[in-house]
Structure formats: C-alpha cells, structure tokens
Amino acid sequence: MSWDSYLDNLIAQTKDSSGTAHCDKACIIGLDGGAPWTTDGHANALKLTGQEGPNIAKCFKSKDFSAFMAGGIHAEGTKYQFLREEDGKLILGKKKDHGALTIQASKTALVVGHCPEGGQQGNTNKGVAVIAEYLESLGM
C-alpha cells in the first residue's frame, strides 16, 4: 500500500484562506527504524537520504532529543536548527533561507512536513497534526 495520497491531504490541510499551501514537501516514515512509508516519486516528496530517517526515528523512539539539540535535524542534506520539542511527540526545526520542519509522531509513524521560507509554519504544523492524529486514530 502506498501512503502517497496522505501527502496530498497533508498539503491541502495547510492552505490559508487565499488558497496558498504552507507546506511544499512532506513524507511519512516508520517510527521503528525510519523506513519510508511514502515514495520519493511523489511530486511533493520530502526525500530523506542516508541515515536521516533512521536518526529522526531513533530520537523519537527513545524520546531523547539531545542529538537534535546538539547537532540539528538533518533532512534532504540540510541541517535545521532544533527549535523545540513538545510532549515527546512533536519537534520543530528551522534553517534560515531554507524554511522549517515539523515532525509529529503517531503510534507507529512520523509525519514530516516542510514549510518553505516565508511560509507560515503554524499552517504546516496543523497539516502534519491532522495526518498524525488520523494515523493514531487508526492505531498506527
């Protein structure tokens, strides 16, 4: 089963009243090991490379975010500054001129959304939350 349609839904959830989407790329990875659930073939895929997915999953699984605090959050070869963590289920990151990351955990997955520079990260947070909470409601 492909989870790619969830990316379209996530991005649609980030639109403001003018119809502008505030998330340009996203992906879903497994909480257990960081394996991708969505494909890199999707037009709006956030393409995690190498150990980026597994490293993100490892921090969420252990609920120890000190690696992000010390070395940043890496996605698509870019290092985002760790901003904050909430309840061990949500982390936010930012990189000047590159935008921001929102990552939220469900029971078995991590939903990752990227907000382009100049976009409203709050809208991206909302879209990521909708998908993560939906997966959680399915027991995933």
Domains delineated in the chain: 4-118+126-137 (3.30.450.30)
Write the CA distances from 40 to 22, 76, 119, integer angstroms: 20, 11, 23
Q: How far apart are CA 35 and CA 54, in angstroms?
A: 7
* 79: phi then psi, degrees, rounded to nearest 5: -95, 115
The reported pLDDT for the residue numbered 1 is: 54
Q: Which class for 138: exposed (0-12), middle (13-18), buried (19 or more C-beta within 10 A)?
A: exposed
* 118: phi then psi, degrees, rounded to nearest 5: 90, -15
Report pTM.
Answer: 0.97
pLDDT block averages, 10 residues each, the chain of length 140: 90 97 98 95 97 97 96 98 96 98 98 98 98 96
